[in-house]
Structures are given as C-alpha cells and as structure tokens.
Amino acid sequence: MTRLISVGLLAIVLNTAAGASGQPRPSPFPLADGNRWTFRSVELNGAHTISVERAPQGLMLRGLPGAPSLRVRWVGQTVQAWDTGNERWEAILRFGEPAGGSYRVNLANTLLWRNLVVTVASKRARVEDHTGRERLATRFVFASKSKIADAGLEWMAFAPGVGPVRIAEQTIAGTRELALTGHRLK
C-alpha cells in the first residue's frame, strides 16, 4: 500500500512539473537542426543571425556573440559547448540555476566566453523583442574577469518556446542591443 501511494505521489509531482496540460515545458533555447533567430540592432538597425545546424560532429550553434561557431548539446537544464582548447564540455547557459545564482564559464578558444562569470539575473524578466512584444524570459548577466578592450557580453534573455529574444554586448562604440525580429523553429 505504501509503495502504491509513493508511486501515485511521484506521478502527481511529475505531472505538475510538466505543467497542467501534461505537456513538457517549452525549451528556453530550442537547439534543433535548422532553427534560426534573426535580430536587429536597436541602435543601428543592422541585422544579426543565430542558427543551428547538424554537422558530422553534432549540433553547431552559429552566430552567438563572442563565439562564431560552437558545438553544443543539452544536458538536463544546461546548454553545454565543446571547449576545443581544453577538450571538454563546458556549461555555458544553466537554465536550471536559481535566480541570483552565478557560475564560471571558460571556453579557451573564444574571446568573450573566456574567464566569464555568468549570473542568472531573473527567471521572469520582462523583455521586449524588436516589435515591442513583451516576453517572459530567463536573463543572464555576464562579467568578464579578463580585461577586454571595448568588448564583452553584457546580458542575454531567452524566452521559453522561442529562444534568444534580446542580447546586449559592449562594443567600441558603446553598448549594442540586438532584439529578435523573427525566428524559425523546427
């Protein structure tokens, strides 16, 4: 009888974790072959694209600021990137980290993702895309421990079922914000 109650309680907990509909929660960063996000610079109106494609070595993420091409995978609630310099997987986006939590990222062969402290600033940030549509998002804030002249990631926001919505990076001309104009998910 105790075992039956335990199994029943476990089913309730799992169903609640998946949401009221019983469906799994949408990914905050859907990494699948062919997915694509298009951004516009808020200041200059220049275009930027982030995309995912399948390659022989696995999924490749292209266009992430500071890392033109990364081999990536999901492990639990974490996006990991293959660190070619240290030959290991490195957690770059920990969506399971609680708000206020911080961790280090050190991708050896990148400029902006080396010796970086990442803080989950909010799990429910209100962030606008390029059209002014407001989305609830997980917002990561970045602080480089290395001196990088006029360059660096400031923050990124990811909305469930959409992916990256807004990105801010430091450039020689000041802060540049990229806002999502459209996305194609498979």
Q: Between 10 and 182, where is the model more confident?
A: 182
The arithmetic mean of pLDDT across residues 36-54, rounded, is: 91
CATH number, domain 26-184: 2.40.360
HSE-up of 2 (CA within 13 Å, CB side)?
Answer: 0
Asked whether residue 8 carries a pLDDT value surpassing 70, the answer given is: no
pLDDT at 22: 62
146 burial via Cβ count (<10 Å: 0-12, 13-18, 19+): exposed
Pick 26 or 14 by higher pLDDT: 26
Which tokens in the block code for residue 8?
A: 């029943």
CA dist 40 and 42 (Å) reads 6
State the amino acid at position 56 in one-letter form: P
SS3 115: coil
Q: How many CA atoms, within 13 angstroms, populate the side-chain half-sphere of residue 92?
A: 28
Choose between 74 and 14: higher pLDDT: 74
What is the model's pTM?
A: 0.84
pLDDT recorded at residue 1: 47
Query: Tokens in use for 66?
Result: 């500071």
- Our CA dihedral for 132, 165, 134, 41, rounded to 10 degrees, sits at -20
pLDDT tier at 66 (50, 70, 90 boundaries)? confident
Per-residue pLDDT reduced to its tens digit, 90-127: 999 999 999 999 999 999 988 889 889 999 999 999 99
- Return the pLDDT at 21: 52
Strands across the sheet with 174-184, in order? 88-94, 78-83, 67-75, 58-64, 47-55, 36-41, 174-184, 163-171, 152-159, 134-144, 116-128, 102-105
Share of the chain above pLDDT 90, in %: 67
| Contact between 147 and 137 (Cβ < 8 Å) | no
- The pLDDT score that the predictor gives to residue 94 is 98
Backbone phi, psi, residue 17, to 5°: -65, -30
Q: What is the mean pLDDT of residues 147-174?
A: 87
